[in-house]
Structure 1
Amino acid sequence: MRKSYTERRNSTGIEGINLSNIDHSMAPETEIKEFRISVATWNVGGKAPNPDLNLEDFLQVEGCADIYVCGFQEIVPLNAGNVLVIEDNEPAARWLALISQALNKPLHDSTNYSSDSSHGSRGLNSNDNKDSKSHNLFHKPSLKVLENYRADSSLLKICNCQEESQTRDRQRERKLSDPIHKLDSAKETHRFRPYSSADSMLYMPDIPSFPSSLTDRTYNLIARKQMVGIFLSVWVRKELVPHIGHLRVDSVGRGIMGLLGNKGCISISMSLHQTSFCFVCSHLASGEKEGDELKRNADVAEILKSTQFPKICKHRPCRATERIVDHDRIIWLGDLNYRVALSYEETKVLLEDKDWDTLLEKDQLNMEREAGRVFEGFKEGRISFAPTYKYTQNSDSYAGENVKSKKKRRTPAWCDRILWRGDGIEQLSYIRGESRFSDHRPVCAVFAAEVEMRNRTNNRFMKGYSCAAAKLEFDNCISRRHSLYEF
């Protein structure tokens, strides 16, 4: 006859079993942890950066985020040569160098990189001054050399679905039981491979890696992509690299003929632990004539429709979503080009009074979102800064303030924006930078994002059994399961 729960618990036959620990071991399979994401967007007006340009304010480095998403528009002039012939990737290399310099400043303060070697060699000379180091860094830089900013490709996984993680755990367990493979048990068995022509520029296996003394960076580049003037890169804290999976890239051209890359977007999809993220950097249709906002709405709709990330694993359900809107957390940044639906004269009066709230009531993006015509389900933080476009070069004056010709005037507007979608994400700050480098001001935001992680302590037989009679029976199981979690 079966005993009741109370009788079983009080039975001398199982005296010594710690039932509270068994209950504890049945904890949820996942836990939630919060990560900080810094996002920045800047239309740089077709200008290549100078070596002394400081991006620390642009990236909000002082806040020390876990992930940095850096989006640029017009890193090259949008002329026929760049749009129709071949992309100039030298400016992209310069921006990567400056981003790495800002994020990994202590390392760069004592390091001199020379990019004039065909083998990607780096020179080290602590006696060189800042000017000479910057000169070498910017002397004909190439993306092939600067690819060394990327994280170690062997640490990036194709898939980090729960089923795949369990498969890797079983593989490790089998290896641990085989004495021949014990020395190799700590190696990662699932390596990152290129899987789409869309991100072919992300992985270059023939490039020599940095010496060990130079690889200890705080942040590693995990993905980057250029489409004419649009350039997007994602950097993560080095400790997070092994937990990044499902890394994919896609781009959509919406420029000339509705196809070319002078306008459009780049999207990067990834998962961190068990949560999927999508970062979209776009440059939408320009123009401040009445009705131009509809072109921008159409660009957004086409981007959402046409962006499709390649399939990379067969697990069901799989975290590797194929569409933008299917991701758990989405952040959309860029020069969205929405204007203020007021005359130049009306806008100027409100600008002088710094009446941002009244101006924002006539902001086209706000009006189109409220009408349900674009960015359905997306949110934007409160804007408490001046319009970011259009400034006179190297000036704090808006273009048109000192000219008589109405053709040269541009009504100031908040063209540069950052929006997000999804639960478990909160915007902590939303500001603009004050660099005079471009006719746009950069815009930055910091987010707190919840990430779902597998709870590796959830194991029924890890601890809690002190009964001498049961000890031998469970010895093999305990030893095998303990070894599984030791590294």
Structure 2
Amino acid sequence: MLEKQRQAEVFWPRLVANKLFRKPSGSHAFVADFPMAAAEDDFDIGGAPAPAVEFDGDGCSPDADACRRVKRPRPQQRANKTLKYRLFASTWNVGGVTPQDDLDLADWLDTKNGAYDIYVLGFQEVVPLSARNVLGADKKRVGMRWNELIRAALNRSAAAPSFHDQTDAKGGGGGETKQAAQQKVHPVRGSGGGELARDYRCLVSKQMVGILLTVWVRGDLSRFVRRASVSCVGCGVMGCLGNKGAVSVRFWLHDTSFCFVCCHLASGGREGDEAHRNSDATEILSRTTFPRGHSLNLPQKILDHDRVMLLGDLNYRISLPEAKTRLLVERRDWKTLLENDQLRSEVVSEGGAFRGWNEGAITFSPTYKYYPNTDTYYGAAAAAQGRKGEKRRAPAWCDRILWRGEGVRQKQYDRCESRLSDHRPVRALFAVEAEAPRNLNSLRSFFMSERFDGARGAADLLRKDDTTNSARFVDTI
């Protein structure tokens, strides 16, 4: 107990200093299943999941990154290959409810209807936002439990193919072509040649107080991911504590940079609260900073990356009287409600806090605020009878998913019906593009491809020399 008190005492001045000097708050360390710069041999595809390891903020293998650049100069005639992947993104405010060990997440993660290449899952309030949790050290045990449930749900299903489209940069960048709609299947295979069950690995998991962002990728895709790092920005009490703010993750998939931001913005439905949310968003975009790497000119800010997604409990409300809002919700008049939605206004208005961002069409009911374990909105007249002093909060689309950048196409945008908390989870399905060199016959590509399965002995020879790192050798080539 004394040690925890000392941690809290150190925690306070560091947060205040970060705010004064406009630095991101929280640790740059994160949890992952594997070192991304390693050769395929390191992942033991099809075997038991690798133990979670904590890495520093410069990524899983900073030494391997030191000899590379983000944009390597290429001859003009050398075109890129465009790879299309399926990405599942979701945000869920779980209201401080600790999940039961038998909680089944399969419906939420849509594991029965298709295999996705990347999962980006953002949580808010994984722990209650009490003073003890906000001022003390992060309660990582709850986040670990969520990750265990996610791992079980993603890897439980029997053999399911994973896939991606491959289209030329010259011919495949436009609309939804017939060729792009036909997916090329790349099943994960074992040593005997047969298909294995789904194999997903945790790329990054980072928690700041109640905000948890966890990213998962297919096991056979993980060898093409590198330079993962995280950044945390607190915008809560005193403008610096982590009860509100964002956890951001960035990484490279092939030669394309991705950045994902999980937010929990200022709450409240009173006049002026919208300005607080806008201020939080501005602070997150300006204060989030990623490491440049060792002598590398890597992008440091969120908007500098090629593909960017922002999700979370953004807390924007509907600018209508409560009674009218409830009446329109009962009538399912989404058009009128969205015309008065605060976030939509910030997206389309000149000078809006989210000008330049994109959001799919909303065709589902507001996701906030429900009585837990019911389908009844908080403060509804019938349910509120006999509840003295209960605050009346109008329904709103607080939970949202936005994106920006080329090479991102949204396929679906909906909500799930879990009654665990006072929010409903929201999810979106995307087709995202990543650029990779067309010259796949090089020695480096050989080591990074499935053909390396039959030549794993080479990596074993490299490991016998303590001064040589196989990942560094492969990526240097």
TM-score scaled by length of structure 2: 0.66
Aligned residue number for residue 339 of structure 2: 361
Q: Does 1:232 align with 2:213?
A: yes
Check the 8 A contact 2:156/2:197 in 1, yes or no: no
Letter in 2 for 1:272: L
Check the 8 A contact 1:250/1:268 in 2, yes or no: yes
How far apart in 2 are the matches of 1:427 and 1:34?
Answer: 13
Q: Does 1:265 align with 2:315?
A: no
Q: Kindly name which structure, 1 or 2, has the bigger radius of gyration based on alpha carbons.
A: 1
SS at match of 1:351: helix
Q: Does 1:81 align with 2:132?
A: yes
1:217-264 alpha-carbon deviations (Å, 9 max, x no partner):
611001110000000010001111111112110000000000000000
Could you tell me which of 216, 221, 236 is aligned with 1:255? 236
Check the 8 A contact 2:384/2:390 in 1, yes or no: no
Instruction: Describe how 1:266-285 pairs up with structure 2 within 5 A.
Output: 266-285=247-266
Q: Does 1:68 align with 2:119?
A: yes
* Residues 260/26 of structure 1: CA separation in 2 closer, same or farther (3 Å cut): closer
Q: Does 1:432 align with 2:415?
A: yes
How far apart in 2 are the matches of 1:445 and 1:241?
Answer: 22
Instruction: Describe how 1:52-201 pairs up with structure 2 within 5 A.
Output: 52-61=102-111, 62-106=113-157
User: How far has the Cα of 1:216 moved from its partner?
Assistant: 8.0
SS at match of 2:431: strand
How far apart in 1 are the matches of 2:242 and 2:136?
Answer: 11
Check the 8 A contact 1:399/1:410 in 2, yes or no: yes
Could you tell me which of 414, 421, 436 is aligned with 1:453? 436
The structure with the greater share of residues assigned to helix is 1
Check the 8 A contact 2:157/2:198 in 1, yes or no: no
Q: Does 1:340 align with 2:302?
A: no
How many residues were matched structurally?
A: 328
* Residues 377/85 of structure 1: CA separation in 2 closer, same or farther (3 Å cut): same
How far apart in 1 are the matches of 2:397 and 2:429?
Answer: 18
Any gaps of 5 or more consecutive residues in structure 2? 1-74, 160-195, 443-473
How far apart in 1 are the matches of 2:254 and 2:327?
Answer: 50
1:360-403 alpha-carbon deviations (Å, 9 max, x no partner):
11111011222232112110000000000000111000011121
Aligned residue number for residue 31 of structure 1: 81
Any gaps of 5 or more consecutive residues in structure 1? 1-24, 109-214, 460-483
* Superposition RMSD in Å: 2.2
Q: Does 1:321 align with 2:302?
A: no
Percent identity among equivalent residues?
50
Check the 8 A contact 2:155/2:197 in 1, yes or no: no
Letter in 1 for 2:95: G
Aligned residue number for residue 390 of structure 1: 369
How far apart in 2 are the matches of 1:428 and 1:43?
Answer: 23
User: How far has the Cα of 1:107 moved from its partner?
Assistant: 7.9
TM-score scaled by length of structure 1: 0.65
